[in-house]
Amino acid sequence: MLKLILIHAFRRPDDGAFIRVKNLNTAIANITGANCLEVVLVSLRHFREVFKNDIETRIFQRRLILPIVWTNRHLLARIWNGFSSWVAGFVLAIFMRPDIVVGETSASWMLASAVKFWRSRSWLIMDLHGAVPEEVLFHNQNSKNHDSVYRYESRLERDIVLNADFVTCQSQNMIEHLKNKYPATHAIFHAFQCSVRSELFKYDPSMRSTYRRKLNLKEDETLFVYCGSVHKWQNVDYSLEIFAEYLQCSSTPSQLLIISPGPDADLRKRAYSLGLSDNDFKIIKVPHEEVPAYLNASDIGFLIRDDSVVNRVASPTKLGEYLSCGLPVIVSDIANSWASTRLDSSCFCFVGLDDATGAAKVISKFLDSIRGNLMLVRPRASFVAEQSLSNGIEIEKLRGFIQGNLQEVAR
């Protein structure tokens, strides 16, 4: 039996990156029939969390937890992580003797490449979700270690693309970005999108009725939803601003539902500063399995992103989740880079950045245009997700990729 080692960083079970890693590697294991070992890299400060969410964060039955000094900002930490990865890689290579090594993002590169060094006959597959060096430029502009972290992540990305046997990415745009950036690469690329579990996220009218009653919504009330974390690049503050403006320009009763795992104090403060009251919005935390119910209860979702390389190469998990539950989606022009938006533009409301008043008016017109056809729009949105963002389709594409490029493994 083939042996596979998956190396990835610890993340919350509802994190879109973790969902994609789980989908991708479960598929690789099923297609190859491999005996799998999951190696989870956990920073010391998050070490307890991995055991609290053991079932939700476990991908394979056999799992090894490796605590690490988790920072790219200190030279000593990098040296220690490199040395410990070299030793751990030797142990894994000798005792596990893997045929396939899968590393997730640059966080796993040192350990994955060490296993490959000691077990040179294995296939090394590296999974690059997004443009990490460009993310550093976006997030840490005021950090004194900004340049150092950027150079470090750039070097890791370059080493991965130039030395891995195969590279999986979240989108075709990401593949083109890497090929243009590193034309000397000999890696074979495959796009595996952030796909959706269609058995969980699906359009369900009966669920919609149940949860709208649970939220005490009136029959004619429009429910906006934002689902996800509240990082700067997700433009949640701007979505709040647009919603506040929408209430001023629309006579239709409306509420905003925010489903987020993070702290909500700053978000509430921002909402109150825009003149919103507790009657206008709700912030809730729910188990991942219950998210589809609240999405079904909603009428339109926020997914506004800035125009940047980071977002141009993205494949947002929430896009598929919104559409699968029948929601039209409010997006910015960067969404034209995402393949699914080109399948049916009627499921998307495009708004400008930095003009909340104008965006609110565009949304008002969009909702007025579809209000009488919601029973047509919702199944259409669900169909777009099924055709372009379902996990089943991505698995079949992956199967063809493995059978075509890893012939020895595919047997």
Could you tell me the CATH number of the domain that includes residue 280? 3.40.50.2000
With respect to residue 200, please indicate whether it lies within any of the assigned structural domains.
Answer: no
Take residue 317 and report the two structure tokens written for it: 């998990």
- Claim to verify: residue 343 and residue 231 sit in the same structural domain: yes
**Cα torsion through 295, 296, 301, 303, rounded to 10:** 50
Phi-psi region of 77 (alpha: psi -120 to 50; beta: other; left: phi over 0): alpha
- Claim to verify: residue 234 and residue 383 sit in the same structural domain: yes
With respect to residue 52, please indicate whether it lies within any of the assigned structural domains.
Answer: yes
- Claim to verify: residue 122 and residue 187 sit in the same structural domain: yes
- Claim to verify: residue 59 and residue 169 sit in the same structural domain: yes
Cβ neighbors of 103 (< 8 A, separation 6 or more) are 7, 8, 109, 111, 112, 113, 124, 125, 126, 127, 160, 164
With respect to residue 106, please indicate whether it lies within any of the assigned structural domains.
Answer: yes
CB 175 within 8 A of CB 189: yes
With respect to residue 402, please indicate whether it lies within any of the assigned structural domains.
Answer: yes
Take residue 197 and report the two structure tokens written for it: 């579990």
pLDDT at 140: 63
CB 129 within 8 A of CB 20: yes
- Claim to verify: residue 319 and residue 238 sit in the same structural domain: yes
- In angstroms, the CA 121 to CA 165 distance is 11
pLDDT at 341: 72
Distance of CA 233 to the CA centre of its chain: 13
Q: What is the DSSP string of 136-161?
A: HHHH-TT-TTHHHHHHHHHHHHHHHH
- Claim to verify: residue 340 and residue 244 sit in the same structural domain: yes
Total structural domains in the chain?
2
With respect to residue 46, please indicate whether it lies within any of the assigned structural domains.
Answer: yes
CB 161 within 8 A of CB 182: yes
Range of the domain at 36: 3-195+390-410
Cβ neighbors of 338 (< 8 A, separation 6 or more) are 171, 314, 315, 316, 319
DSSP 408: H
- Claim to verify: residue 172 and residue 244 sit in the same structural domain: no
With respect to residue 274, please indicate whether it lies within any of the assigned structural domains.
Answer: yes
Among residues 409, 410, 403, the alpha carbon closest in space to that of 122 is found at 409
- Claim to verify: residue 160 and residue 217 sit in the same structural domain: no
**Average pLDDT by stretches of 10, the chain with 411 residues:** 92 83 93 94 81 83 85 73 92 96 92 96 93 82 73 93 96 95 96 86 92 93 94 89 97 95 87 96 93 97 92 89 95 87 83 96 94 82 88 92 72 46
- Claim to verify: residue 402 and residue 264 sit in the same structural domain: no
- Claim to verify: residue 139 and residue 232 sit in the same structural domain: no
- Claim to verify: residue 228 and residue 315 sit in the same structural domain: yes
pLDDT at 71: 59
pLDDT at 410: 46
- Claim to verify: residue 241 and residue 340 sit in the same structural domain: yes
Neighbours of 100 (CB within 10 A): 23
With respect to residue 135, please indicate whether it lies within any of the assigned structural domains.
Answer: yes
